[in-house]
Amino acid sequence: MEEKTPIKIYLTGAGGNVFVCSRCGLRKELDAKRIELARKGARIRCKCGEVYQLELRRCYRKEARLPARYKVEGKALAGDVLIEDISMSGVSFRLISEPKFKAGDILKLAFCLDDPKKTEIKLEAEVRHIAGNKVGAEFTDLYYHHKDLGFYLMP
Ligand SMILES: [Zn+2]
């Protein structure tokens, strides 16, 4: 059988990592044991035959000034924020108006990168902390399949 080039996926290091196969869409929760194996370079083969290699290196964090729109999951609440830094694991942003959410809420964020393509990014993040008008949120999924975001975050 020919050896496939593994697709790299980036782990945030936080618990409850989920990875979604970009070929067949299978969702898989990665437990601590699996992540430990990955740390040693193990690959994951999906049922469909796609091969993944986990990258556990520290996520690069990039300073930004990206206007974003959020919606609070399960509620008809929305607002505008300014993303001030972003990584593959999460974002920090500044509130422009009163927060309509609290820590633990899931936000659906939509924004455009300031790359030449003005790539539109949509993802979900869980609010971790709110301090004044500054908010930290962690992505709820592994957004490795956002290739454009990965490219944008390259040092
Ligand atoms: Zn698959």
Same domain, 68 and 37: no
Q: Residue 42 falls within a domain, yes or no?
A: yes
C-beta atoms surrounding 127 within 10 Å: 19
Query: Residues within 5 Å of ion ligand 1 by Cβ?
Result: 21, 23-24, 26, 46, 48, 50
Same domain, 98 and 137: yes
Same domain, 70 and 50: no
pTM to 2 decimal places: 0.63
Q: What distance in angstroms lies between residue 43's CA and the mean position of ligand 1's atoms?
A: 13
Which long-range CB contacts under 8 A does 41-47 form with residues at least 24 apart?
43/6, 44/19, 46/21
Same domain, 90 and 145: yes
Residue 117 sits in which domain range? 62-152
Q: Name residue 67's beta-bridge partners.
A: 82
Q: What distance in angstroms lies between residue 44's CA and the mean position of ligand 1's atoms?
A: 10
Q: What distance in angstroms lies between residue 48's CA and the mean position of ligand 1's atoms?
A: 4
Q: What distance in angstroms lies between residue 20's CA and the mean position of ligand 1's atoms?
A: 8
Same domain, 38 and 107: no
Domain boundary residue among 55, 71, 93? Answer: 55
Q: What distance in angstroms lies between residue 64's CA and the mean position of ligand 1's atoms?
A: 33
Looking at the structure of the chain, the number of domains it has is: 2
Q: Residue 1 falls within a domain, yes or no?
A: no
Per-residue pLDDT of the chain (155 residues; tens, 9 = 90+): 556 677 776 665 444 567 778 889 888 777 777 777 777 777 888 899 988 887 665 556 789 999 999 999 999 899 999 999 998 778 999 998 888 899 999 999 999 999 888 989 988 999 999 999 999 998 886 554 566 777 787 76
Q: What distance in angstroms lies between residue 47's CA and the mean position of ligand 1's atoms?
A: 6
pLDDT of residue 13: 45
d(CA 84, CA 92) in angstroms, rounded, equals 6
Q: Name residue 82's beta-bridge partners.
A: 67, 94
